[in-house]
Structure 1
Amino acid sequence: MEYLDFELPIKELQEQFEKACLIGTESDVDVSNTCKQLEKKLNDTKKDIYKNLTPWQRVQLSRHPDRPYTMDYINAICGESFLELHGDRGFKDDKAMVGGLGKIGNQSYMFVGQQKGYNTKTRQFRNFGMANPEGYRKALRLMKSAEKFNVPVVCFVDTPGAFPGLEAEERGQGEAIARNILEMTRLKVPIIVIIIGEGASGGALGIGVGDKVLMLENTWYSVISPESCSSILWRSWEFKEQAAEALKLTAKDMKKLTLIDEIVKEPLGGAHSNREKTFTTVAGAIEKTYKELKMLSPTDLVKKRMEKYLEMGEFKS
């Protein structure tokens, strides 16, 4: 497992704990008390560190290389029931945006989300999770198909932003994202949005309009990344920590500002530290949320969704 800078005390204690346990198994020396003491110290250190994370540290956790991505969640939650669907029926199949039909229990869902890569080759293949216009058009095509067959939509958001290349702008990046936002506000089936990693700018908003928006505990959601904000305001990336603080981009901040509906707890150490538990928690959150939304008629769904977004940014004196 890789450790971030602020996790180095945990790494040292973990190594000491493993060495002590190894001595106990390979020799006749009784190190059970030492192991217990080290384990307790390790757990206490973890609780102390993860209880007091700064916004920038949460941004770092959201980008952890071992953190599960969209397809990890889909494969774990749906298993063999998932059928991936491809293409926007206009230009090509965008590998940064994935989607398809899958089941949780006996209920079918249309899953849509950005997919990042695990190494240099797959990161290039997935374009680092930055979708082109055809990716957003593919997502919209799948959502409209879900509406046609009365299937709820689940969107997994994890992107550093929409692809900013010249060719993307030539093919209508802004229009594609704006069209998705418009169409998602009036989709007549439940939409559940879950931020599982990075939620940056219009790239996230392109699949981010939902009846319920959930955020995993160590994720961020903002109009701009801390690095880009720092480079614009201070002409340097060195102030990214201050930018992260000022942007109010953590799950707790977003909940306080009523821009999201619920925070999904992660295992101690982040989603990557216990993937199975994370997958189970997310599946449970999807099922629980859908049970609440399925009671509403299509008309009420759209009405409540529109009201929810129209109320954002309102201040009463």
Structure 2
Amino acid sequence: MSDKPKILVTQKVPDAAYPILESFGIVEANEEEGVIWSYDELLHRAPGHDYLFCLLTDTIDARFLETCAAANPRLKMIANMAVGFNNIDVATATRLGIAVSNTPGVLTDTTADLAFGLLLATARRIPESERFLRAGRFTGWGPLLFCGAEVYGATLGIIGAGRIGQAMARRASGFNMRVLYHNRSRLSAEEEQRYNLTFVSFEELLKESDFISLHCPYTQETHHLIGEREFALMKPEAILINTARGAIIDEKALVRALQTGQIASAGLDVFENEPAIEPELLQMEHVVLAPHIGSASLKTRSLMATTAANNLLAFQKGEVPPNILNPDVLDQQ
């Protein structure tokens, strides 16, 4: 019997990850593209593996971790192929001595591209006008046909000025936008100058922004960060962009705000109860919806996959994984 560690890959991932994993372990993988194992099936398969390569759609909770920690062999490390890790109970993993890693940095520009693309598409009503044309309803140019919002020179409010928020600000500079931001902690004066950012209170950002783009992590504190009170503070012409996490927005409150004209529109790549979408959003022509494709370029997804695999390889070699989230567990090994 091989003494190589056993690795479980929960979903079909880019090919670049597999040679790295196979160089040090025996890989069992979900080979069906687009198929996500249920929680029960994953819990049935995972015990007895040394390593778990998972994604945001996999729920790795306390029950799951305790079951895997009690198995033979026990679970040593989880590599999450995502920058976010709210799908994993990191506190329980740490208590059980299980290392956890993510893949930050590699998806920054790709996600910012998508966020700014949603901003442009929503402001200029591009998907709506394309559907109009494809339906054979275009009979000629008209002075009021699909007039949208001006982007050049408008005010962009960024909530969460980390890597992706800063990348969004860089893109806004090409459109001569005034860029406000709110963050848990204020950036240095040098960073503010570099990205042409102006720090304001949360309420001021909501009141003054023509476009509001969410780039904060999803935590207990940011759950429903944007709800009825916040929509009431926004301009009626405001457009909300979300490429962060769906539950940062109270989606039912968003529906009401759009229905009543409290805000003008929204561009969403993530949803509160994903993959379920509020039915009213699907019926709104002026809302732009994307199926969680923020990091979906071939280059970026391959980099995410190899980064996750290399985190596991580093652990196996006795090194500190570059993106470990709970380094204290290394003292327990």
TM-score normalized by the length of structure 2: 0.32
Q: Higher helix share goes to which structure?
A: 1
